[in-house]
Structure 1
Amino acid sequence: MELFKERRVLTVSALTALIRGVLEENFDQVWVEGEISNFASPQSGHCYFTLKDAGAQIRTVMFRSAARTLKFTPRDGMRVLARGRITLFEPRGEYQLVADYLEPQGIGGLQMAFIQLKEKLAKEGLFSELHKKEIPKLPQRIGVVTSPTGAAIRDILTVLSRRFANVELLINPVRVQGEGSAAEIAAAIDDFNRYGNLDVMIVGRGGGSLEDLWSFNEEVVARAIFRSAIPVISAVGHEIDFTIADFVADLRAPTPSAAAELVVRSKKELSAELEALSHRLHTAQLRRLDRLRSGLTLLSRSVTDPSRVLGHLAQRVDALESRLVREIGVLLERHGERIVTLSGRLSQQSPELTLKRNAERLETLSFRLDQAMSRRIGGVGERLRLAAGTLNAFSPLATLSRGYSIARKLPGRTVVRESAQLQAGDHVELMFSSGGALCRVEEPLPPVKP
């Protein structure tokens, strides 16, 4: 490339954008076959998986707008044929296939979806003969769920008017193919059940390809037929084709005409001209769709598709969401471990355990206190006895008991220690070991010399 003839420093983002441009320009539409692995479909509706063979693998993404058209559920190990474009997921620097079409290898996508749904409903018992209701032999009121402009309703009307002219017919018109038609068919069946005044119900349409008949292979229609309290005849015509509605219905008619004949107990086949016209109409529709698809492809190459940018952004959001989920899981695990550790420590410090340990310690201390108090009281009692003996020895009462007395001069009651304190005529109070006496001093005597 001219870009690299001279030295030019590119950022990683700039280089990645250049590589993506080269890939998208040269691999705008490729067909790839391989085996699905690591299939994932998050809440965004996008599908992520890897296509691999014995020698290599490539990451693949199918965005919600394309995945919504899938009639089957991709699974790991399934071999498929994918159509799409090669691009580069810039945040990871990985090239990838952005698929816009996917079909199982060796079997069509619609056929795979048919098989998967049939297996699921069979396991739930929706096809069991135990749930089949008996078709009335002479119905007076017949309800029909079909297209008001299709050939099926004309055939039913023709047969009924010819075979049982006085029968009353109620038509609940619906679309019988295209997006949203299955929901209309299910709602019409529920409407007739709420109305209630019917003997039998015919649900069907004329013949066509598997794609044309697909509304009668939808789960919502199957469950509406199963819960119907009114007996249901499935009249989805193509005699060689069976739909999910045929397996769930109380009776299967190969064509709408046959359904009308069965309900009035007649035995005629579907018109060959109706089959031919249906086939020719289907073929013409397919050719017209192919022309329109080719023109749309040419136009899309000349116009930048905003969905590519949105697709990359959506893929990046999914990648960030996955990373966030992983980080939250790690954080929750760490907090869980911390909670377990703290719970163990808390159990060791529980009030009940602490009280038990303190009660044991208090019992020990109480015993030791009792012993210490006993020893201390014994020592104090002994010292008290010794002090009492000493006090008794030095007690004035003991001295008085030996014949001594205490003299106190009146009126102040001053203790007299020597005769010099007294004069003739003083009054003295004498205290003995028992009792006392009042005396008057006649004459103080001099001290006695030793």
Structure 2
Amino acid sequence: MITGIRLGPRVRLATLLLAVIALTLGFVIGSGALSASASTVPASTAPAPSPTPTSDFTNTLTINGILRDGDNVVEGAEVTVEGGGFSETATSDDSGRWAVVVPEKGEYTVTLNVDSLPDGVELRDPDRSSATVGADEWQTNTITRSFPLGVDTRTTTGFFEQFLQRLAAGLNFGLLIALAAIGITLIFGTTGLNNFAHGEMVTFGAIVAWVTAVLLGVNIFIAMLVALILGGVFGYLNDWLLWKPLRRKGVKLVQAMIVSIGLAIALRYLYLFFIDGKTKTMNVGLSDAVVLGPVRITTGSIISMVISVVVLVLVGLFLTRTRIGKATRAVSDNPSLAAASGIDVDRIIRIVWVLSGALAALAGVMLALYRQVSWDMGFQVLLLMFAAVTLGGLGSAYGALVGSLVVGLFVELSTLFIPPDLKYAAALVVLIVVLLVRPQGILGRKERIG
């Protein structure tokens, strides 16, 4: 609690409601994970005293993985784990996942039964049908082992085909970054705050969608709507409980930024407490591959891109055609002048927080479909969001969109020339180069110094 701030009845009530929501969320996640584990493992193959391979408990050592042939999952393939007198075979399910609980730490040999692969599916490298994995020091007690299947399109297709494939992936990734980055730039424009907890707002949306769509079995589009609404509520509570009291107390921006870092760490480990450290897959039936000429893309990516474009257009119309949008731009340009002209600055800031929370949550859902759900997924892309905002021009919503597309495209296209592990670093190099040439960003305005 910040010294000098007295919590009124509404704040106490809101805090109590948040605690109840958090406990309920934890109960739903835990019970859903237990029921999922019980339903995916036949009783005849699971020893009574041992947890099932799909258990979400972290007190077991699990060797697991996912089998894919390009964008298609491989079902019915057998994987054997052996070591220290232990031997057990797992079969990949309809999501391509397999898992084996091992009894103790040590080295195990993981072997893919090539004869069990479906017709037309084969190992990319026949000599890689087995590998040795060590089950010793691992935070989540889970070791993942995957086997490359199918044809390696990166080496068998021409440069132009690879360019188009990376271009589509970069456009999709850039639109996802843009959804979240616009919230960052709106908050900065109206309050001057660099919110380092924005990544956790993205994670919040992904977790809500995973709980709603996967654990509760609700349609994914309804889950998106639920995440969008709860994300807006989350943004509202952020401002009401924390940032508005700090503004009234006159807390400087540097101190407020440090508070946002502390909030980000607290939320991140709260998510870890509730969903543990294992990644979660959004198995919602949107992983089918669609072939558009030389480009292979999943239905989930196509839907994600369409929704992102529609939402970004609506946000642009909101900022340019509505009274609240024009008031938001006025507050961003000059808060004091906006207040003198009769604009309720606090109300506009509250609306900006709601909009930013909703957009961040929606971006989290799209990112979960693009990748997987994890407790730190928002933190992993936070630096890219700040890079996009800085590249486009701080405080400019359209600059955030342009910067996000530049970052997304460069991240994916750079893998044509450099190892994929360096693609994020390459995007930050571009940021440095652009700022050396144009310090205000692509769409930023020059400011007088001194």
Shorter-chain TM range is under 0.3
- Between Structure 1 and Structure 2, which shows a larger proportion of helix residues? 2
Question: Rg larger in 1 or in 2?
Answer: 1
Q: Which structure has more RCO (C-alpha within 8 Å, separation ≥ 6)?
A: 2
